[in-house]
Chain A
Amino acid sequence: MKMTTTMLACALALGTVGVQAQTFKWTSASDISSWDIHSQNNALSNGIHAAVYESLVYYDSRTFKPEPVLATAWSQISPTQLRLTLRTDVKFHDGSTFVADDAVFSIERAMSKTSNFAVYTAGIDRVVKVNAKTIDIFTSNPNPVLINQLTELRVMSKTWSEKNNSTVPKDIKTQDENFAHRNAMGTGPFVLKEWQPDQKMVLSRNPAWWGKSDGNVTEVIYTPVRNVSTRMAALLSGAVDLVLDPSPQDLGRIRSSSEFKVVDGVENRTIFFGMDQFRDELPGSDVKGKNPLKDQRVRQALYQAIDIDTIVRVSLRGLGQTTGALVAPQVNGWTEAVHKRYPFSADAAKKLLSDAGYPAGFEVDFACPNNRYINDEAICQAVTAMWARVGVRAKLRTLPLVTYFPMIQRYEASIYMLGWGVPTFDAMYSLQSLVRTVGAQGDGNYNVGRYSNPQMDALIERAKKETDLKLRTEILTKALALQNKDVAHIPLHNQVIPWAMKKNIDVVHRADNRLDWRLIKIK
């Protein structure tokens, strides 16, 4: 008996040595603006919130298939009713037990007026508790991507919110700060220890977490650093372990260094050009009385005049994967066939232009952001030169994103650059916003070239209602192929996002550009 105790003590001591405190320090340009999980729908916040608050399901970091988190199983009871079974052994950070009421409350909170998560609650009619570990979600129409939407709906404790006056999301327009704005209490693998906005955020490992973690990080410290040179210096001087958004021109040096490395990941974001296909005459063009961009041949000429390989190699320094599809390969609906580009050929472009009646080319307005996508301005400058070779004189203007996006949304650009990420990993998200005729309820809300094809609209409407998933995916692929045939947009590339870090850091580069807190390993 005595010996057993000694052995136990030894084992305990060994155990303590095994769990050495490992602090992971990282940085990127800006801080999150609130800890309230439904206050703002922002990619960085959503990723950081996920360390403390868990959702019912979440994308697996490697396969990007929805994996069970707080829900262990789900099934479609009827086309408009989804039943989820909840995990039973989950405790919140304050020790209380996670129950169905919390799940129902959180989804309803995300649906409330001051929430900015309408994109993810779209189509949800009501949420009903069946018993302590089962809930039903009713949708107004069959919704095949409901599970994907649930990945971004994180869960808060109902009692905690009620006790702390945080039952509604913090309204960004008012100064009433709720408790949940600066404090956080979820079920996640990390606990929020300290947050000084714009300065420092400390998360520490949740010892009572239900799941198993592959990582060995016990503390995460986030310090936003706005200036990119300072950010890189912080990595090089060892002050941080990882930079989420390193400067592209420093990557070569870091890749060849013996102390640091770069992990690249193809982001689920496609960069493309859109074209005004609505106006009868383009402002600022020398073609009067007609709009050359309405002609499919002209659009294809612009497409084929672009030497995309050179752009990726030179303008992007390799940080891009060329694509002929409007969505990235991870997205449902993508196929090898729709990924194939029209070949680059200046001669073919010239021929198409003269067939369309513009043998000498034409003048056209061309707008690009200069601080939104990786090297966006450089890409547009290169494309302007390539178009000039076939006679199209694009008058390039580049704008910072704060003025660029309202401008294109007022339909003021003839040719514009846009990048589209797909948080649901389903092509419907892109098709509905980008190629559906402008209408209500999100239809064509970023179709700012106002492309319109009744055939396309019919395909999208069919896919919206189709509940046979296989058939639905086929329709999505058909729509993507139709976009290519029409050249509604000119796809360029999927962004490759580099992360720079010390050699001893082991992370998984998720396609949504987020860190997976459970998988970080420090060797």
Chain B
Amino acid sequence: MFAFILRRLAQAVLVMVSVALIAFMLFQYVGDPVVFLLGQDATPEQVSELRGQLGLDRPFLIQFWYFLVNAVQGEFGISLRQGAKVSHLIAERLPATLELALVAGVLALVAGIPMGVYAALKRGSFVSQLFMTISLLGVSLPTFLIGILLILVFSVYLGWLPSFGRGEVVQMGWWSSGLLTANGWVHIILPAITLAIFQLTLIMRLVRAEMLEVLRTDYIKFARARGLTNRAVHFGHALKNTLVPVMTITGLQLGGLIAFAIITETVFQWPGMGLLFIQAVTFADIPVMAAYLCLIALIFVVINMVVDLLYFAVDPRLRVENAGGH
């Protein structure tokens, strides 16, 4: 068990360092922040002086080393665009992204599971066909298009919902929440739906397929033979067994929700980390970009590790093989 965890940790560190290196390397070619800081009238002397002060003239490996040493301490330097600490900027934006991902995740589950169950039980019915068609659209339409369409329909034509922003927020310590005001909820509806649609269709299709599989098994037949009600068979037995893979996928997709939020956040001007990242790209704000990529990598690595450990706990076969000590 201990060796397993150690091995996993070592792999995680390796992944993190590689991500940091790749991110850092990419940024060498993104552009020159000095142009933005000084404007078009700067003299070459001013440019080279600023490059020196920012450490941009040091060799690549030295720059990377300083970056790593600071990154381990959670320190990514100063945003070149806003002149504030990157860690502060990210902490400021984190709640918005997490709340959006959470609402979208819950929405995907709450809507996706019943739709999947219905599509499995009433296979061939008109509504099931409709669900399947919609899900196909949900999987194949790009997020930004869905977002723009929703804005067009619900903000521009109908005028029911706001088209951008987070609305009123309540500050609780360092956490700002939009979920405590009606205005905040009105603002989160469209972005949450946009972000949830892909996951929703995924979950729906997964539940449907698993459900169909489970309904064919022997124990369902036995349950029916025992004279249990349809309700007990479908929800008490079939659905429960369906949910194991669904939970696994949902857990893994949580990282995806946070990372994919970039596009949704840009479309809805949602003040989260994704928007911060996109703004940083336009201004070649290297420290912010690097910090964001490392943070997303960290979230994925942690989630994967937790899932691995859960498997280890849940699946006895894994334990036997590792405990064998061949």
Contacts and interface: CB of A to CB of B under 8 A. Distances in A.
Interface of A: 30, 33-34, 39-42, 116, 118-119, 170-175, 177, 181, 197-200, 223-227, 229-230, 233-234, 236-239, 400-403, 405-406, 409, 433, 440-442, 445-446
Given A238-B159, A402-B32, A40 B37 contact: yes
B269 to A, nearest CB: 4
Nearest to A40: B37
A406 B266 contact: no
Contact of A199 (B33, B46, B165): B165
Contacts of A173: 50, 53-54, 78, 83
A159 B30 CA distance: 43
16 contacts: A177-B84, A224-B269, A226-B278, A230-B163, A233-B164, A236-B155, A236-B156, A239-B155, A402-B30, A402-B282, A402-B284, A406-B31, A406-B34, A406-B35, A441-B43, A442-B43
A445 B34 CA distance: 15
B142 to A, nearest CB: 13
A445 B278 contact: no
Contact of B82 (A116, A197, A230): A197
B279 A172 contact: no
A385 B84 CA distance: 46
B41 interface: yes
Contacts of B38: 116
A405 B43 contact: no
Central interface residue in B32, B78, B163, B268, by most chain A CB within 10 Å: B163
Nearest to B34: A406
A405 B31 CA distance: 9
Contacts of A39: 83
A406 B53 contact: no
A173 B29 CA distance: 21
Contacts, number: 128
Contact of A226 (B29, B31, B266): B266
A237 B41 contact: no
B193 interface: no
B237 interface: no
A233 B32 contact: no
Contact of A402 (B35, B39, B271): B35
Which of A171, A200, A236 has the most B CB atoms < 10 Å from its CB? A236
B109 interface: no
Interface string B67-92: 00000000000101111110000000
Contacts of A239: 155, 162-164
A228 B30 CA distance: 22
A485 B252 CA distance: 67
A164 to B, nearest CB: 17
Contact of A230 (B32, B46, B268, B284): B268
Given A41-B39, A197-B82, A237-B155, 11 more contacts: A30-B282, A181-B83, A200-B165, A225-B269, A226-B278, A227-B269, A230-B148, A230-B268, A236-B156, A403-B29, A446-B40
B151 interface: yes
Nearest to B269: A225
A69 to B, nearest CB: 24
A234 B156 CA distance: 8
Contact of B279 (A30, A440, A441): A30
B31 A233 contact: no
Interface string B277-314: 01100111000000000000000000000000000000
Contacts of A230: 148, 151, 163-164, 266-269
B152 interface: yes
Given A199-B165, A239-B164, A174 B78 contact: yes
B83 A445 contact: no
Interface residues of B, number: 50
Contact of A225 (B29, B53, B164): B164
B78 A175 contact: yes
B324 interface: no
Contacts of B44: 409, 445
A170 B83 contact: yes
Given A173-B53, A175-B78, A238-B159, A34 B83 contact: yes
Interface in B21-69: 29-44, 46, 50, 53-54
Nearest to A404: B31
Contacts of A172: 37, 80, 83
B168 to A, nearest CB: 10
Contacts of A442: 41, 43
A223 B276 CA distance: 15
Contacts of B50: 173
A226 B83 contact: no
Given A173-B54, A227-B266, A33 B83 contact: yes
A403 B83 contact: no
A200 B156 CA distance: 21
B32 A406 contact: yes
Nearest to B53: A173
Contacts of A226: 266, 269, 275, 278-279
B65 to A, nearest CB: 20
B166 interface: yes
Contacts of A42: 39
Interface in B222-279: 266-269, 271, 275-276, 278-279
A233 B279 contact: no
A296 B227 CA distance: 97
A198 B159 CA distance: 24
A149 B43 CA distance: 18
B267 A227 contact: yes
Contacts of B80: 172
Contacts of A440: 43
Contacts of A402: 30-33, 35-36, 282-284
A175 B83 contact: yes
A247 to B, nearest CB: 12
Contact of A237 (B78, B85, B159, B166): B159
Given A199-B165, A226-B278, A230-B163, A33 B39 contact: no
Contact of A223 (B82, B148, B269): B269
Contacts of A197: 82
